[in-house]
Amino acid sequence: MAKTREIKKRIKAVKNIQRITRTMQMIATSKFAKSQSRAEATKPYTEGIFELVQELAATAGNVSHPLIEGPVGGFKDDARPLTLVITSDRGLCGPYNGSVLRTAIKQLRADDAADPRVEVVGKKGVAFMKFNGVNVHRHHTQFGDRPEFEDVQELAQHYIELFEAGRITGVNLIYMRYISVARQAPTIVPLLPLKPPAVEKQEEGFSAQYEFSPDAEGLLAELLPETVKTTLFQAFNDAVVSENIARMVAMKAATDNAGKMGKALKRKFNRARQAQITTELNEIVSGAAALG
């Protein structure tokens, strides 16, 4: 009797867990739909900025900008690269955080800096860095599940000012890139300095000629900072979508596993109950035979 009672308690606990994981799966699915629409809505603008900068570089000739070539006065003696790692505040999202953080640790070891300047978004990333002995220079907590462009713009402008002042030699962005619903990949993006787009050789024939108003340098002064800001904002949106997908998949797997475990426990309970009934019948038959 004690064995069947214990199995019934386990069945009840598994059902409660299954109910919780199914609810979390539904919440993650709802958040995924909203975050996916945001990420796909901002992607055309981000790609359009890159195309515009590429076309400008191809037609304007040799133009220079501090965000491409570095600060005018050079870098400071204590300048070092900055790495921004985007993780989640909550767990239960499968390999999402682990993949991003392993990529970050590998990149930091490749940089081989004595005291790397690391900034982290998300509580999971901070805990991981501290466990591995990496000093977190700054923990960003202002973004949450729905990053606003104003907050991302402020952070990007801060990086631009540090780079132009020569206090950092560059910014590497590490996050989970959203490619499709079935594919997300941890990605390292060199945010600063901006690499000048490759200019393809013009084939013989007609080519478009442009007149710039304002001049090319003035356009670059507006477009390049905007490129940094939109790239960073797109990375935050991709990270949110990837986190929701990972949590949705993980909670579905947990729900399915709880269902399988519940069925296995139910079979085990039926066998134990059947054995218990057989034992009681044998005791009754044996008692009646002894009395007769």
Give the model's pLDDT for residue 278.
87
Q: Residue 155: is its pLDDT beyond 80?
A: yes
pLDDT in tens, 21-37: 999 999 999 999 999 99
Give the model's pLDDT for residue 50.
77
Give the model's pLDDT for residue 116.
82
Q: Residue 206: is its pLDDT beyond 60?
A: no
Q: Do the domain assignments include residue 186?
A: yes
- Distance between CA 70 and CA 144 in Å, rounded? 32
Q: Do the domain assignments include residue 267?
A: no
- Distance between CA 147 and CA 84 in Å, rounded? 15
Give the model's pLDDT for residue 2.
59
Mean pLDDT of 243-260: 95
- Tell which wins on pLDDT, 283 or 158: 158
Q: Do the domain assignments include residue 111?
A: yes
Give the model's pLDDT for residue 202.
47
Give the model's pLDDT for residue 282.
84
3-state SS of the chain? CHHHHHHHHHHHHHHHHHHHHHHHHHHHHHHHHHHHHHHHHHHHHHHHHHHHHHHHHHHHCCCCCHHHHCCCCCCCCCCEEEEEEECCCCCCCCCHHHHHHHHHHHHHHHHCCCCCEEEEECHHHHHHHHHCCCCEEEEECCCCCCCCHHHHHHHHHHHHHHHHCCCEEEEEEEEEEEEECCEEEEEEEEEECCCCCCCCCCCCCCCCCCCCCCCHHHHHHHHHHHHHHHHHHHHHHHHHHHHHHHHHHHHHHHHHHHHHHHHHHHHHHHHHHHHHHHHHHHHHHHHHHHHC
- Distance between CA 117 and CA 131 in Å, rounded? 17
Q: How many domains does the chain fold into?
A: 1
81's tokens:
């690269």
Least confident of 42-46, 213-217, 243-247: 213-217
- Distance between CA 281 and CA 274 in Å, rounded? 11
Q: Do the domain assignments include residue 177?
A: yes
Give the model's pLDDT for residue 68.
81
Among candidates 153, 170, 137, which has minimal Cα distance to 71?
170
Respond yes or no on whether the N-terminal peptide bond of residue 193 is cis (omega within 30° of 0). Answer: yes
Tell me the residue range of the domain where 167 lies: 59-198+208-244
pTM: 0.84
Q: Do the domain assignments include residue 264?
A: no
**What's 67's domain CATH number?**
3.40.1380.10
Q: Which of 52-66, 102-116, 117-131 has the highest mean pLDDT?
A: 117-131
Q: Residue 245: is its pLDDT beyond 60?
A: yes
- Tell which wins on pLDDT, 213 or 173: 173
Q: Do the domain assignments include residue 5?
A: no
Q: Do the domain assignments include residue 167?
A: yes
- Tell which wins on pLDDT, 203 or 250: 250
Q: How many CA atoms lie within 13 A of 130 on its CB side?
A: 9
Give the model's pLDDT for residue 292.
65
- Distance between CA 89 and CA 96 in Å, rounded? 12
Q: Do the domain assignments include residue 164?
A: yes
Q: Residue 170: is its pLDDT beyond 60?
A: yes
pLDDT in tens, 70-120: 888 888 888 889 999 999 999 999 999 999 999 999 998 887 766 789 999
